[in-house]
Amino acid sequence: MRQFQFSYKGKDALIRELRKLMQWSRTKIYSQMVFQVFSDVIDREEIEKVMDIITWEMPEALVFGCSTNGHILNGDVCTQAIAITCTVFEYPTSRVQLLQYDLTAENESYVTSDVLRILNENPWVTAIELLVTIRGMSMTNFSDQLSEAQRDIAIYGGGAFNGDMNNDTACVFTNIYGYADRGVIFVLMGGEDLHVSTTYITGWKPLGRELEITKVKGSILYEIEGRPAYDTYYRYLNIENDENFFSNTLEFPFIFDHNGIQLLRAPTASLENGALMMTSDMCEGDMARISYGDPETILREVADGVKTLNRFAPEVIKLYSCGARRVFWGADVSRETTPFQLLAPTSGFFTSGEFLRTKGHLNQHNVTLVVGALREGDIPEVKDTPELAEVGMEFSGQVSMVNRLATFIQAATEELEAANRQLGQAAISDGMTRLYNRMEIQRRINERVNQVNDAGAEGKAAGNIGKVSLVMMDVDDFKKVNDTYGHKEGDQVLIQLATMLKRVIDRKAPGCVAGRWGGEEFMVLLPGIDVNKAAEVAEVFRTEFNRIEFELCGHQTMSLGVTEHKVGESADTFTMRVDDALYKAKRSGKNCVVTE
C-alpha cells in the first residue's frame, strides 16, 4: 500500500501531479487507486472540477471526499483550501467499493438497512470508512443500527464540516454519485490481505462530581439535576451565557459512560432558557461529569497511541479530529497529529463529529481524535518506536499545574462523595441491625402501596404485579432476655435475627426488604407476593430464628403476622392490619404465624 498527498493549487498543477502518478503506476502492479478530496470551502463548482480532472486523467480511479474545518497532510495542518490524497492498494486481493446515499432523519433506517444488506451479500468487507453530513441531525439511531453489522467489521470516520464553525452547511461527494449537501458515504474495504486497526484519543479527564441528566431531547440538553443545564457551567466554572460561551467551554466538555467506554459531549451554544445545544445526543439518566483538557495529558495519550500503532506497522494512517480540538490547540494543533507521520503517511480532517466502532458498538464521539490505520500483507519486523522528540514531544517528567489541581479536586470530590454515601446510608439504616430503619421501611411501603393503588383493580387482576404483602414480627418475651441476661445479649438476639432475615430473603424472597420497626419489632415488605406465599416465607423466618442458639439465653421464639394489601387501601390501614395479625399471634400462644 502506498499513499501520495498533495494540496490543490489549480488545474494545471493538479494535472501535473496526476500525470506523475500515472507514470509511476505504469511500472507497478496494483489493484485499486482511491483518491480522497478534502475541502474547507463549500464551492460545489470547484469541488466538481477537481473530481472531473481526476476522473478524466484516471478513469479507473475512485474519488470521494467531504467538506472540512481544515485538513491534515503529512501529519500537519494543510494551508490550502483543498487537499488530495491518493491511496494505492497493491495486493490483488484488496477491494474498495463506494456507496453514497442522501441522508435525512426520515430515511436513515432505509439507508442503514440497505448497507447491512450489502454487507451480508459481500463477506469480503472488513472495514468501512464513513463520511456524513450531520447538520443538527441526531445520529443515535443511525449509529445503533449500523452497530448490527458483522462484529469483525471495523467502522470509523467523521462528520463533514465547514471552514466556518458557525456555519452548519457541509457536503459529501463521489465521482460515481456526485455532490450532496445532505448525505453519507460508505467506503467499503476488504480482502484477505488488507488489515485495519483503529483507536481513539481524548486526553480529557473527569473533574468534579457526577451530575444526572434529567431532561434532554436529542441534542438539546435542557436540565441537569432539575436545573437549567447552563447553570452547571456558571456554577462550577463561572462561564457567562454570552458570545464567548462556545470558546470558553471547549476545554470543559461533559464526559460520561456509554456502551462500555467514555464519550465526550461538548455544548456549542447556550439558549436563552438555559438549555444547551450539544454536538450530539445524550440520554436522560446519564451520569456525566465536567471534564478538562490539559495539553501534556493529551500528548502523553498520543504518545501511547503511537507506540501501540507501531506494533501494527501501518502503511497509511487517517485522522478524524474534532474541530473543537483545533480550536483548543490553536496554532499548536499539529503537536497531536505530526507524531503519527513518524509511522506512516498521515492525512485526515477536522470534523463535526467522529465515529468509531468499539466493543461492537458504533459510537459518535466529540472532542476526540479517531485514528484509522491500514496495512496490506503480514506485519513486517516491528521497528523500534520512533523518537517522539523529533516532533516536539519531549516530556519533562513534571506533572502540569492543571493536572495537579484537577487531581486534587477529583480526589477531594471522591472523598466527599464517599462520605455522602455513608451519610445517606446511615440516614436510612438502623445503626444496630443494619436493616432499614422505621422511616425508610415505611417510605418503601407507602411507595409500593401508591403504585398498586394507581394500577387499581385491573393491575390486581393481571397477576402478581398488583400484589404486595407484609410480614411483621416480634421477639417473644424479649424484656425477659434483657432483664435476665443484660442488654448486650438482647442486642445479639436482634442482630442475629436481622442477619437471618437477610439470609432467608436472599434465598426465598429476592426483591423483598426488611426493616426494624421499633424495639424488638421487625417488618418485611414483600412486593409481588400474595398472602399465601408470604405466610410460607414467614414460617421460614419463625423456624430459622428458633434454630439459633444464643450464648446466654439459648433458643428464642417470635410471633409473626401476615397480610396482603387490598385494592384502594391506604398504607396506614395496611400496616394496622398486619399489626393486628401480629397481636393475634401473641394472644394465640406466641411462636406462631397468623394470617389476616
Containing H/E element for 128? strand 125-133
The 3-state secondary structure of 313-343 reads CCCEEEEEEEHHHHHHHHHHHHHHCHHHHCC
Tell me if residue 481 falls in helix, strand or coil. helix
Enumerate residues 6+ apart whose C-beta is below 8 A from 311.
Answer: 379, 382
The 3-state secondary structure of 339-369 reads HHHCCCCEEEEEECCEEEEECCEEEEECCCE
Q: So what's the pLDDT on residue 495?
A: 95
Tell me if residue 533 falls in helix, strand or coil. helix
Q: So what's the pLDDT on residue 277?
A: 87
- Tens of pLDDT along 214-256? 999 888 999 999 999 999 998 888 888 888 888 788 788 999 9
Torsion of CA 494, 496, 502, 503, to 10 degrees: -160
Is the Cβ–Cβ distance between 181 and 169 less than 8 Å? Answer: yes
Cα–Cα distance list, 587 to 559, 591, 593 (Å): 10, 10, 11
pLDDT confidence band for 279 (50 / 70 / 90) = confident
Q: What is the mean pLDDT of residues 285-300?
A: 88
What value does the CA radius of gyration of the chain take, rounded to a whole number of Å? Answer: 33
pLDDT confidence band for 382 (50 / 70 / 90) = low
Tell me if residue 241 falls in helix, strand or coil. coil
Closest alpha carbon to 265 in 333, 334, 335, 204: 204
- Tens of pLDDT along 178-191? 999 999 999 999 99
Q: Which three cell numbers stand for residue 118?
A: 450489502
372 pLDDT exceeds 50? yes
Is the Cβ–Cβ distance between 340 and 319 less than 8 Å? Answer: yes
* Eight-class DSSP state of 92: T
Q: So what's the pLDDT on residue 389?
A: 61
Cell 468499539 found at = 358
Q: Which three cell numbers stand for residue 480?
A: 425477659
Residues belonging to the active site = 520
Least confident range of 9-18, 418-427, 470-479: 418-427
Enumerate residues 6+ apart whose C-beta is below 8 A from 524.
Answer: 470, 471, 472, 473, 501, 505, 509, 512, 513, 514, 515, 537, 541
* Eight-class DSSP state of 466: G
Q: So what's the pLDDT on residue 459?
A: 53
195 pLDDT exceeds 90? yes
- Tens of pLDDT along 391-439? 556 655 544 556 656 665 666 677 777 777 788 788 888 989 999 999 9
**Burial of 510 by CB count in 10 Å (0-12 exposed, 13-18 middle, 19+ buried)?**
exposed
Packing angle between helix 11-25 and helix 44-57, nearest 10 degrees? 30
Share above pLDDT 90 across residues of the chain, in percent, rounded to a whole number: 72
Sheet of 468-475, strands arranged across: 513-518, 521-527, 468-475, 558-564, 593-595
Closest alpha carbon to 406 in 239, 208, 248, 237: 208
How far is the C-alpha of 118 from the C-alpha of 186, rounded, in Å? 11
Q: So what's the pLDDT on residue 399?
A: 47
Q: Which residue type occupies 216?
A: V
Mean residue pLDDT of the chain comes to 90
Closest alpha carbon to 288 in 240, 239, 236: 236
Cα–Cα distance list, 311 to 190, 191, 348, 378 (Å): 21, 21, 21, 12
Tell me if residue 525 falls in helix, strand or coil. strand
How far is the C-alpha of 493 from the C-alpha of 496, rounded, in Å? 5
Strand 82-89 with 32-39, pairing = antiparallel
How far is the C-alpha of 478 from the C-alpha of 559, rounded, in Å? 11
CB atoms within 10 A of CB 412: 11
Q: What is the mean pLDDT of residues 150-172?
A: 93
127 pLDDT exceeds 50? yes
**Burial of 272 by CB count in 10 Å (0-12 exposed, 13-18 middle, 19+ buried)?**
exposed
12 pLDDT exceeds 50? yes
Q: Which three cell numbers stand for residue 282?
A: 445524550
* Eight-class DSSP state of 550: B
Q: So what's the pLDDT on residue 272?
A: 87
Least confident range of 72-76, 251-255, 460-464: 460-464
Strand 346-351 with 125-133, pairing = unpaired
Beta bridge partners of 67: 39
- Tens of pLDDT along 309-335? 999 999 999 999 999 899 889 899 999
**Burial of 238 by CB count in 10 Å (0-12 exposed, 13-18 middle, 19+ buried)?**
exposed
**417 or 193: whose pLDDT is higher?**
193
